[in-house]
Amino acid sequence: MFFTFMTRFGVFCSCHMNLPKIALLLSLCLFSTIATAQKDYKVGSIGFYNLENLFDTIDSPTTNDADFLPGGRLLWDTPKYISKQANMAKVISQLAIELTPDGVAILGVAEVENRKVLEDLVSQPALKDRHYQIVHYDSPDERGIDVGLLYQPKYFKVLGSKAIPVVLKDPKTGAEDFTRDILYVSGEFDGEPLHVMVGHWPSRRGGESGSAWMRAAAASVVRHTADSLRTLNPDAKIVFMGDLNDDPSDKSMTKVLGAKGKADDVTKDEFYNPMYDMFKNGNGTMAYRDAWSLFDQVVVSKALVNKKTAGWQLYKAMVYRQPWLLQTEGAFRGYPFRTFVGDIFINGYSDHLPVYLFFLKKP
């Protein structure tokens, strides 16, 4: 079951309380006399993690995976693959456990080569007792990297899913290309209808401004899908997450997707981005040229921040930043501790930090 704790009514409706205060309140609630004005709340968590090139060691004839083969540039072999899997499982096993012992109920992932690498991941000792299930489709990405969804079936029931193509049409030449699909999953989160989308938007290769139109195209696909869901139900609860290769303040997010930084400003046709203020305050999920970006984001529809709506409501957004997830020496000290630096295997985790949200509801 979801982790349920006691709290004074309204305390956890705030999105500004830090974890030490939460821990103190939890200890007071659990070990002190509880006033009758207090309520029980269920806690659920949804997260996202870019696993940075989770490739197997087997040659795929339809994708460009040459670097990740035993004879390839990175000398990617079975011991490295096994270590990478264990490292990814270690991180995922720790996400959200400060408030819910089973961790994230739903986790979007990016940069996975195929379904098999996800099957190996959920079978790792650190994760196998959670019985994560998988939603995955092969995408048209030329490197073969896909997005996917892991979920614990005792918390989330999948009712349907599909891969939604993102067609990139060059505004100058009219040439068409494909990038990673948007994964759409419909289901029930503790019995409550929930729509989940996972994306990995086009990179900034060629420059931020020169590639912005591609991320705008991906954002448009997400927005169109969300609008279709809202047409059927104006109060549809929608979560969109991914490695978006843009920050919360960029046009693809604020204008095209319609993700606002203040919950009170969000209309039923828009999203709330709880990571907007985090980014403005200097928080990030990846580092480049000594600057942090917050490309990994989770945004929610109006119904998940509308206190008048029954059921799940957003409580808090988190970036999982631990000392052991950061490099401690060298030119990239303080950056995320990744698997490779150039061609050198350093046995780290990912070049991205994971993110997750907490949701609350009355049982």
Q: Is the pLDDT of residue 6 over 80?
A: no
**pLDDT band at 307; cut points 50, 70, 90:** confident
Domains with residue ranges and CATH for the chain: 3-361 (3.60.10.10)
- Which residue is it, tokens 């490779």? 340
Burial of 294 (0-12, 13-18, 19+ CB in 10 A): buried
Look-up of token digits 């197997």:
56
| Cβ atoms of 151 and 157 closer than 8 Å | no
Spatial distance between the Cα atoms of 166 and 223, rounded to a whole number of angstroms: 12
pLDDT tens digits, residue range 241-256?
999 999 999 999 999 9
Q: What is the pLDDT of residue 217?
A: 96
Residue 199, class by beta-carbon neighbours within 10 Å (0-12 exposed, 13-18 middle, 19+ buried)? buried
| pLDDT for the residue 3 | 57
Q: Which residues contact 154 (CB under 8 A, 6 or more apart)?
A: 1, 131
Least-confidence region, from 24-33, 142-151, 300-309, 333-342: 24-33
Question: What pLDDT sits at residue 39?
Answer: 63
259-260 and 313-319 beta bridge pairing: unpaired
Whether the per-residue pLDDT at 87 is higher than 80: the answer is: yes
**pLDDT over 90 percentage in the chain:** 79
**Which tops the pLDDT comparison, 362 or 161?**
161
Which range (14-18, 179-183, 303-307, 328-332) has the least confidence?
A: 14-18
pLDDT at 35 over 70: no
The pLDDT assigned to 2 comes to: 62
Tokens for 168? 């990139």
- Per-residue pLDDT band for 358 (boundaries 50, 70, 90) equals very high
Q: Which two tokens stand for residue 134?
A: 């998988």
Burial of 344 (0-12, 13-18, 19+ CB in 10 A): exposed
Q: How confident is the model at residue 165 (pLDDT cuts 50, 70, 90)?
A: very high
Mean confidence (pLDDT) of the chain:
89
Phi, psi of 88 (to 5 degrees): -65, -40
Type of residue found at 242: G
Count of Cβ atoms closer than 10 Å to residue 14 Cβ: 10
Question: How would residue 279 be classed by pLDDT, with cut points 50, 70 and 90?
Answer: very high
Mean pLDDT of 117-139: 97
How many angstroms separate the Cα of 72 from the Cα of each of 5, 57, 106, 113, 143?
51, 10, 34, 16, 14
3-state SS, the chain, equals CCEEEEEECCHHHCCCCCHHHHHHHHHHHHHCCCCCCEEEEEEEEEEEEEEEEECCCCCCCCCCCHHHCCCCCCCCCHHHHHHHHHHHHHHHHHCCCCCCCCCCCEEEEEEECCHHHHHHHHCCCCCHHHCCEEEECCCCCCCCCEEEEEECCCCEEEEEEEEECCEEECCCCCCEEECCCEEEEEEEECCEEEEEEEEECCCCCCCHHHHHHHHHHHHHHHHHHHHHHHHHCCCCCEEEEEECCCCCCCHHHHHHHCEECCHHHCCCCCEECCCHHHHHCCCCCEEECCEEECCEEEEEEHHHCCCCCCCCEEEEEEECCCHHHECCCCCCCCCECCCEECCEECCCCCCCCCEEEEEEECC
pTM for this predicted structure:
0.90
